[in-house]
Structure 1
Amino acid sequence: MISITETIAVPSPRKRVWEVISSPADVVSCITGAELGEEHEDGSFDGTLVVKFGAVRVRFGARVHLELDEDGFEGRLTARGKDGQAATRFTAEANFRVVEDGIGSKVAMNGEIKLTGKLTSLIEAGAGVVVSRMTKDFSARLVELCAGPAAEPEAPKAAQAAAPAPRPAAPATLTARIRAWWAALWSRRSARTGQGGTA
Structure 2
Amino acid sequence: MIKIDEEIPVPAPPGRVWEVVSDPAEVVSCIDGAELGQSHEDGSFDGTLAVKFGAVRVRFGARVSLDLDEPEREGRLSAKGRDGQGATRFTAHATFQVREDAGGSWVRVTGEITLAGKLASLIEAGAGAMVARMTREFSAELVRRCTGTTEVTLPRPSVWTRLRAWWLRIFQRSEVRSGQAQ
| TM-score bin, normalised by smaller chain | 0.7 to 0.9
- Give matches, 1:146-185, under 5 Å: 146-148=146-148
Q: Count residues with an aligned counterpart.
A: 149
Give me the identity figure in percent.
69
Partner AA of 1:9 in structure 2: P
Partner SS for 1:123 = helix
Q: Work out the CA distance in 2 between the residues paired with 1:102 and 1:117.
A: 45
Q: Work out the CA distance in 1 between the residues paired with 2:148 and 2:45.
A: 26
Larger Rg: 1
Q: Work out the CA distance in 2 between the residues paired with 1:143 and 1:101.
A: 15
- Give matches, 1:6-85, under 5 Å: 6-85=6-85
Partner SS for 2:126 = helix
Q: TM-score, normalised by structure 1?
A: 0.74
User: 1:100 maps to what in 2?
Assistant: 100
4+ long deviations beyond 6 Å: none
Q: TM-score, normalised by structure 2?
A: 0.81
Q: Work out the CA distance in 1 between the residues paired with 2:46 and 2:148.
A: 27
Deviations 1:170-191 (A, max 9, x none): xxxxxxxxxxxxxxxxxxxxxx
User: 1:112 maps to what in 2?
Assistant: 112
Q: Work out the CA distance in 2 between the residues paired with 1:125 and 1:115.
A: 12
Range with bigger deviation, 12-21 or 140-149? 140-149
Deviations 1:135-163 (A, max 9, x none): 000000000000129xxxxxxxxxxxxxx
Gaps of 5+ in 1: 150-199
Q: Work out the CA distance in 2 between the residues paired with 1:14 and 1:84.
A: 37
Q: Work out the CA distance in 2 between the residues paired with 1:19 and 1:89.
A: 31
Partner AA of 1:43 in structure 2: G
Partner SS for 1:132 = helix
1:130 and 2:130 aligned: yes
More helix by share: 1
